[in-house]
Amino acid sequence: MAPRTVSVVNMKGGVGKSTTVASLAETLASEGVRVLVIDLDPQSNVSMMLAGQDRWVELRQANRTIDEYFNQYVYGGEPRFFREFVANKVSDIAGEPALDLLISTPEFRYIERHALEKWVSQGFDIRQLNTRFSRLTHSAIENVAESYDLVLFDCPPGISMFAEAAIELSEFIVIPTIPDYVSRLGIFAFRKRALRSMEQRRFTDDRIYTLITKYEAQNSLHQSEAALLKDQFNVFDTRIPQAEQIARAAEWSDHKRTLEQKYGDAAAVIRKFAGEFRERVGLI
């Protein structure tokens, strides 16, 4: 059975995309869901969070990165299967959850530019390049489809061609957002693009979800904007709170820990969100 494919994306930065991907992936994997996270963000935040800095360096030295995967199509060379790039059993959560990861590196930002330069000089236009990136991403997922129940794309802020490819491939889109004015504007800016992709595949906008993040229950602005988001968009009932422990969880622990040790009081909310996510994307 093909895995569920979900892009976590928002044009605005700092809304908690990588944190959402990491915590969701760890929670679902600890519940027995086989998860693959693909880091499309050159900032490599989710790579660092899930693999830890030491393993990230090892993977980078072994050329098992997303930039190397796409590099082989841009520069040629001996082709390697997508699965060879994937790091198995990442995360510092105890119990060896079935969580795999394709790491990103800061160099990833140059691949798109090099690909554009090369393929445009060969006569391809932007639409054809988009299609090419989509096909490459699609064939990558097909290569590992049997191994996973869920593929999560952590997309960079803004829209890159790789993020476009992920969106075009995804059955569901999750837009994390802080309930404030500028973050809400970020949804409007992105929603139309996501909607077009969904409609092309005969999906409806009920597959585009908004997740409220960094929520402060006592903040009247957050209360007001959260209610408005719920009225205007398809919003998860669970709200991820602004919590020190969630920010601290980003740092790798050399010793395995439970979800509760890692996320503290926020673990219960994260579990609740994971449950709601499973229900909505059909991962029951």
Partner 1 sequence: MIDRALSSLFKVVTDEAVNNPAFGKRLEESLAKFGQELAERRMAERNVGEFHPFIEFKKGTPEEFSARLGKFDVSELRVIVQKHHLDPANLLKGKGTKKTLAAHILEAARKRSERDAKLFEY
Strand partners, 154: 8, 39
For residues 51 and 229, which CB has a smaller minimum distance to partner 1 in the complex?
A: 229
Q: Which of 130, 223, 242, 261 touches partner 1 (CB under 8 A)?
A: 223
For residues 148 and 190, which CB has a smaller minimum distance to partner 1 in the complex?
A: 190
Q: How far apart are CA 238 and CA 236, in angstroms?
A: 5
Give the interface size with partner 1 as a residue count (CB under 8 A). Answer: 12
Nearest approach in angstroms of CB 18 to partner 1 is 26
Among 246, 260, 266, 244, CA closest to 94: 260
Nearest approach in angstroms of CB 190 to partner 1 is 10
Q: How far apart are CA 67 and CA 113, in angstroms?
A: 12
Residue with tokens 């590099």: 71
Asked if residue 217 binds partner 1 (CB under 8 A), the reply is: no
Q: Which of 53, 224, 253, 258 touches partner 1 (CB under 8 A)?
A: 224
Q: Which of 94, 116, 228, 281 touches partner 1 (CB under 8 A)?
A: 228
For residues 58 and 205, which CB has a smaller minimum distance to partner 1 in the complex?
A: 205
Nearest approach in angstroms of CB 189 to partner 1 is 7
Q: How far apart are CA 195 and CA 191, in angstroms?
A: 6
For residues 4 and 222, which CB has a smaller minimum distance to partner 1 in the complex?
A: 222
Q: Mask: binding to partner 1, 230-249, rule CB under 8 A, as x and -?
A: -xx-----------------
Asked if residue 182 binds partner 1 (CB under 8 A), the reply is: no
Whether the Cβ atoms of residue 42 and residue 188 lie closer than 8 Å to each other:
no
Among 248, 213, 252, 245, CA closest to 229: 213
Among 177, 190, 282, 194, CA closest to 236: 177
Q: Which of 120, 217, 221, 247 touches partner 1 (CB under 8 A)?
A: 221
Burial class (CB in 10 A: 0-12, 13-18, 19+), 90: buried
Q: Which of 189, 217, 247, 268 touches partner 1 (CB under 8 A)?
A: 189
Strand partners, 239: 212
Q: How is 30-96 classified by DSSP, letter by letter?
A: HTT--EEEEE--TT-HHHHHHHHHHHHHHHHHTT-BHHHHHHHHHH--S---GGGGPBPS-SSBTT-
Nearest approach in angstroms of CB 228 to partner 1 is 6
Interface positions, 109-138, toward partner 1 (CB under 8 A): none
Stretch that binds partner 1, among 47-55, 100-108, 219-227, 237-245 (CB under 8 A): 219-227
Q: How is 151-196 classified by DSSP, letter by letter?
A: EEEEPPSS--HHHHHHHHH-SEEEEEE-SSHHHHHHHHHHHHHHHH
For residues 2 and 221, which CB has a smaller minimum distance to partner 1 in the complex?
A: 221
Asked if residue 227 binds partner 1 (CB under 8 A), the reply is: yes
φ, ψ at 212 (rounded to 5°): -80, 125
For residues 116 and 195, which CB has a smaller minimum distance to partner 1 in the complex?
A: 195
Asked if residue 188 binds partner 1 (CB under 8 A), the reply is: yes
Residues that bind partner 1 (CB under 8 A): 185, 188-189, 192, 220-221, 223-224, 227-228, 231-232
